[in-house]
Amino acid sequence: MTNRLWDWLKHQFTYQNSSTDQRACFWQTDLHSHLIPGIDDGVKVLEESMQCIRQLADWGIQKVITTPHVSHERYPNDSATILQGLKTLKQQVELEQLPVVIDVAAEYMLDDFFLQRLEAGPLLAFGPERYLLVETGWLARPLFLDEIIFRIQTAGYVPVLAHPERYPYYMHDPEGLAKLRDQGCLMQLNWMSLTGRYGAHTRTQAKLILKNNWVDFIGSDLHRPEDLPALQALFSSSFYDSLKAQPLRNKGL
Ligand SMILES: [Fe+2]
């Protein structure tokens, strides 16, 4: 093979790969990640944040709304801490001239102190509808979940449940998930759930959520650069095309 032919083939291969990646995230906005260094179980240092953000931008993400954990016991982050982190990230993104907008919200744990937090407000929501990303503990459904959802709504937010496919207590309760969605609680699927990162049970549940067309938002829930290969696996998986049929609201946030 001549050098010229080799160069041409190399160029074609590189071009095809990069063009596939650049349009891979057709949903354009990622709204669930842990990319403010050192304030939760996500990235520890700024360089790790930037590795994640550079890769998301390469995959076609134009806006990253990063969402640190907020809970009473483990992650008592307040809005000021999170907004300070945003400033740091924005400065670095600007310095590197990355084609991506950075914003913040939070992933609020529905613990015993959540309603006090809601009352004290305002909470860090995102989008014109004031979407509020919430999660629950793994062991059991919060006792007064219906009431909490209602209170979030009456406070002027639209509740969005983070990774509904990951809660063991919903694994055998598809009716419970259906009811939640009927109540107006939207759903955010983790895209790593479809690539098997959290195991077979979670993937089965993610398939059920896809089958019902309940994916209102797709999110990376990116915690560290080591998660990136598991995210990339989606683009060549059989689930990728079925995401296009979901009622995604990611764009335009
Ligand atoms: Fe998360």
The model's pLDDT over 129-143, given as tens digits with 9 standing for 90+, comes to 999 999 999 999 999
Span from the CA of 4 to the centroid of ligand 1 (angstroms): 48
Q: Give phi and psi for 69, each to the nearest 5.
A: -65, 140
CATH number of the CATH domain containing 94: 3.20.20.140
Share of the chain above pLDDT 90, in %: 89
Q: Residue 14 falls within a domain, yes or no?
A: no
Span from the CA of 234 to the centroid of ligand 1 (angstroms): 18
Span from the CA of 147 to the centroid of ligand 1 (angstroms): 23
Residue burial 106-121, b: 16+ Cβ < 10 Å; e: rest: bbbbbbeebbebbeee
Helices (DSSP H) in 121-199: which residue ranges?
145-154, 174-182
Q: Residue 7 falls within a domain, yes or no?
A: no
Q: Residue 192 falls within a domain, yes or no?
A: yes
Q: Residue 125 falls within a domain, yes or no?
A: yes
Q: Do residues 157 and 122 lie in contact, with contact meaning Cβ atoms separated by under 8 Å?
A: no
Region 151-158 average pLDDT: 98
Span from the CA of 109 to the centroid of ligand 1 (angstroms): 10
Span from the CA of 33 to the centroid of ligand 1 (angstroms): 6
- CA–CA–CA angle 225, 230, 235 (5° rounding): 120
Region 104-122 average pLDDT: 97
Span from the CA of 37 to the centroid of ligand 1 (angstroms): 14
Span from the CA of 69 to the centroid of ligand 1 (angstroms): 7
| pLDDT higher than threshold 50 for residue 150 | yes
pLDDT of residue 17: 44
Span from the CA of 12 to the centroid of ligand 1 (angstroms): 37
Span from the CA of 9 to the centroid of ligand 1 (angstroms): 41
Span from the CA of 135 to the centroid of ligand 1 (angstroms): 8
Q: Binning pLDDT at 50, 70 and 90, where does residue 10 land?
A: very low
Q: Residue 174 falls within a domain, yes or no?
A: yes
Span from the CA of 7 to the centroid of ligand 1 (angstroms): 43
Span from the CA of 52 to the centroid of ligand 1 (angstroms): 15
The model's pLDDT over 164-218, given as tens digits with 9 standing for 90+, comes to 999 999 998 999 999 999 999 999 999 999 999 999 999 999 999 999 999 999 9
| pLDDT higher than threshold 80 for residue 9 | no
Regarding pTM above 0.85, the answer is: yes
29-30: strand order across its sheet? 29-30, 63-66, 101-104
| pLDDT higher than threshold 80 for residue 162 | yes
Span from the CA of 183 to the centroid of ligand 1 (angstroms): 23
Torsion sign (Cα): 139, 144, 146, 148: negative
Q: Residue 2 falls within a domain, yes or no?
A: no
Q: Residue 253 falls within a domain, yes or no?
A: no
**Structural tokens at position 28:** 């354009």
Span from the CA of 156 to the centroid of ligand 1 (angstroms): 23
Span from the CA of 1 to the centroid of ligand 1 (angstroms): 49
| pLDDT higher than threshold 80 for residue 117 | yes
- What's the rounded Cα separation, in Å, for the pair 77 and 167? 23
pLDDT of residue 6: 52
Q: Binning pLDDT at 50, 70 and 90, where does residue 23 land?
A: confident
Give the DSSP letter string of 67-107: --EE-SSS----HHHHHHHHHHHHHHHHHTT-S-EEEE--E
Q: Residue 8 falls within a domain, yes or no?
A: no
pLDDT of residue 172: 86
Counting the structural domains of the chain, the total is 1
Mean pLDDT over the full length of the chain: 92
Task: Say if strands 217-219 and 107-109 run parallel, antiparallel, or are unpaired.
Answer: unpaired
Host domain of residue 86? 25-243
| pLDDT higher than threshold 60 for residue 12 | no
